[in-house]
Amino acid sequence: MAGKKEHTGKTLLMIACMILIGAAATVRTPAHAALSAWEDHSMEVMFIALLFLIAGGVIAYLMMNIRMRRRVERKLRNSELNYRTVADFTYDWEYWVGSDGTLRYTSPSCERVTGYRREEFLADPGLRERIVVPEDREIWDAHRREKPEGYDLRFIEFRIRRKDGEVRWIEHTCVPVRDDAGGFMGYRASNRDITDRKAAKDHLDMYREHLERLVRERTAELEAEIDSRRQKEEELDLYRRDLERLVRERTAELEDEITRRKSAQDALAVSEANLRRAQDVAVIGGWNLDLKSGELTWTDGVYRIFGLPPGTRLDYESFLASVHPDDLEYVNKSWSDALKGAPYDIEHRIVVNGAVKWVREKAEVEFSDNGVPLKGSGIVQDITRRKQAQEQQYILRQQLAQVSRVATAGELTAALAHEINQPLAAILANAQAALHILDGKAPDLAEIHAILDDIINDNKRAREVIRRVRSLLRKEPSKPEEVDINSVIHDAIRLVKQGSDFTGVSVRTELAEGLKPVMADRIQVGQVVINLFANAFEAVSELSEPPRNIVVTTRMDVEG
């Protein structure tokens, strides 16, 4: 503001000087010419007088403006002196920036806060901006761009890098300085080191967040436990309904399964008769192969098997051309091994006019005295019908096994019901106990958690029983796995005892310890053991007098 007034005063002074020069040029004439021209030029004389009056007024205004500016500067110096007297002894870093942006004063505390002496700040106007860290420079620049009339008191926080490289947090307080007339004279600022306060606040925020997270986690755990209990109750009801439906369905299907088993047995007998008849009427042919010339000769039977016209010229490669692609490597390797002295008795597929046939080949190779193969001779048998019969027989056996599993499941219905009712009853009792604890004034969450664990374990037991029943009834191929025979026997004893009346019958086990697991289908092994127990129980039940004992023994043979 002072700079603007000074510029205006200089402009008015120049105008006044130009007026005086112009007036002087006008009156610079001989005296007698002025007198003679007075009457003719009275207007010009009045204009010149007016110019002198204006110039005098401008000069008077300039003199008054100069005196006023000197008074303002004296007041500013006095104010600065008073501010310096107080600020020199403050703990925070205080400074005063004039209206022209010049740093007029900075307190000695600047060295404690920044590491720079105040002489360095006074000598380097840009130092205050450079110590602001780049990440917070935008905050500082935005504050610098604010107009003084836009605020009375301003607070911002930013980080600076001290002279020793340490980064500190600064709370910057800024207030405009105005004269009595409201004119802007600059601004005073106070910078306080709040690094320790920031660290304490961050620690409190972290601790508060930790507590909030603990509350959220504990609340979530309680909600999860409540939801889990509700879910277990629903699952309990669902399992009960599933079991009832399963018993009804299996009871209704039992007669159909028995009928199908009888039909499967009849079909199996027919299939076995067909297999024997197919073997009786098997088509067989012979062949010879000269290993030196590679010439291959077949009988008519072999030509019929391979679907070729009799007399077709053949060699080993043409024979391989008829072999099924998936068996080609196996056939070729078997013949190569035979040329080294290995037996040649294989079964493989051939492709005849797009159809797949099964053949059995058996041959002998003649060798020279020094072990060189000379020729081979053998037979070819069409075993397609036998293979088909075996496949059909396998399917029927699988069906019989399925029917047998269903029949066994029907016989063990009571055992399975008892096996499932136990965990279901335990789940119900635990759920009621948990409800009773929750109704108390101070529920024991640890005890509730233990009860819920028991409910989950009992639920898994019931689920495992249902899974075993479904596995027993499901039609699926065998799944060999490592099976502990002793464990299977214990399970079978428990199931048979619960499903039958063993009154007066003693079951004793003599199971060898350390038995190695065997590779087998656990369900099928269990079915066999259950059938053995059922037969043994039926046999000893016919004894009129005790003792009626069933002894189960396992042992490891000499080969381990």
Over residues 121-133, mean pLDDT: 92
Shortest CA distance to 135 belongs to which of 114, 159, 169? 159
* pLDDT over 60 (residue 133): yes
Please state which of the ranges 63-67, 180-184, 378-382, 473-477 shows the lowest mean pLDDT.
473-477
d(CA 554, CA 510) in angstroms, rounded, equals 7
Q: Is the model's pLDDT at 166 over the cut of 90? A: yes
Distance, CA of 59 to CA of 461 (rounded, Å)? 112
Question: What is the DSSP secondary-structure string of 176-190?
Answer: EEE-TT--EEEEEEE
Taking only the tens place, the pLDDT of each residue in 428-458 is 777 877 787 777 767 777 877 787 887 887 7
pLDDT of 169 above 80: yes
State pTM to two decimals. Answer: 0.30
Q: Pick from 104, 95, 101: which is nearest to 77 by CA?
A: 104
- Backbone phi, then psi, for 80, in 5-degree steps? -65, -40
Q: Give CA–CA dist 311/303, Å, rounded.
A: 8
Instruction: Find the range with the poorest average confidence among 248-252, 418-422, 463-467.
Output: 418-422
User: What is the model's pLDDT at position 351?
Assistant: 94
**pLDDT beyond 70 at 8:** no
Q: Is the domain 90-193 a CATH 3.40.309.10 member?
A: no
CB atoms within 10 A of CB 440: 8
Superfamily of domain 478-560: Histidine kinase-like ATPase, C-terminal domain (3.30.565.10)
Question: Is residue 278 very low, low, confident or very high in pLDDT (cuts 50, 70, 90)?
Answer: very low
Residue ranges of domains in the chain: 2-75, 90-193, 223-280+383-477, 283-379, 478-560
Average pLDDT, the chain: 77
Give the pLDDT of residue 47.
Answer: 65
Interval 203-212: pLDDT, tens: 888 888 888 8
User: pLDDT value at position 35?
Assistant: 46
Q: Which residues are paired to 289 by β-bridges?
A: 296, 376
Q: Who wins on pLDDT, 303 or 474?
A: 303
350, with CB counted inside 10 A (0-12, 13-18, 19+), is buried
Alpha-carbon separation of residue 209 from 224, 326, 463, 484 (angstroms): 22, 67, 42, 53
Of 79-93, 229-243, 543-557, where does mean pLDDT reach its minimum? 79-93
Q: What are phi and psi of 346, to 5 degrees?
A: -130, 160
Burial group, residue 315, by CB count within 10 angstroms (0-12, 13-18, 19+) = middle
Answer yes or no: same fold for 283-379 and 478-560: no
**Lookup: tokens for 60:** 């008077």
More confident residue, 349 or 31: 349
Distance CA 270, CA 524 (A): 25
Sorting pLDDT into bands at 50, 70 and 90, what band is 66? low
Higher-scoring residue by pLDDT: 463, 341: 341
Q: Does domain 283-379 have CATH number 3.30.450.20?
A: yes
The most confident of 89-103, 227-241, 491-505, 533-547, by mean pLDDT: 89-103
> Own/partner pairs for 54-62, CB < 8 Å, 24+ apart?
54/16, 54/19, 55/16, 55/19, 55/20, 55/23, 58/12, 58/13, 58/15, 58/16, 59/13, 59/16, 61/12, 62/9, 62/12, 62/13, 62/16
Q: Say how far apart CA 311 and CA 122 lie, in whole Å.
A: 119
For the stretch 193-251, pLDDT in tens is 999 988 888 888 888 888 888 888 888 887 887 878 888 778 877 877 877 787 777 77
User: What three-state secondary structure class fits 298?
Assistant: strand
| pLDDT, mean of residues 88-95 | 79
86 has pLDDT over 70 = no
Spatial distance between the Cα atoms of 323 and 533, rounded to a whole number of angstroms: 50
d(CA 312, CA 108): 118
Instruction: Evaluate whether 118 touches 108 at the Cβ level (below 8 Å).
Output: yes
- Residue 405: both structure tokens together: 């599993």
Listed range (39-43, 328-332, 508-512) with the worst mean pLDDT: 39-43
Q: How confident is the model at residue 155 (pLDDT cuts 50, 70, 90)?
A: confident
Model confidence pLDDT, tens digit, residues 508-517: 888 888 888 8
As a whole-number percent, the residues of the chain with pLDDT over 70 amount to 70
Amino acid at 400: L
pLDDT(113) > 90: yes
What distance in Å separates the CA atoms of residue 560 and residue 32, rounded to the nearest whole number? 158
- In contact, 406 and 372? CB cutoff 8 Å: no
Q: What's residue 473's pLDDT?
A: 57
Q: Dump the DSSP string for 72-100.
A: HHHHHHHHHHHHHHHHTT-SSEEEEEETT
* 344-368 tens-digit pLDDT: 999 999 999 999 999 999 999 999 9
What pLDDT was estimated at residue 111? 93
The pLDDT, as a whole number, for residue 276 is 45
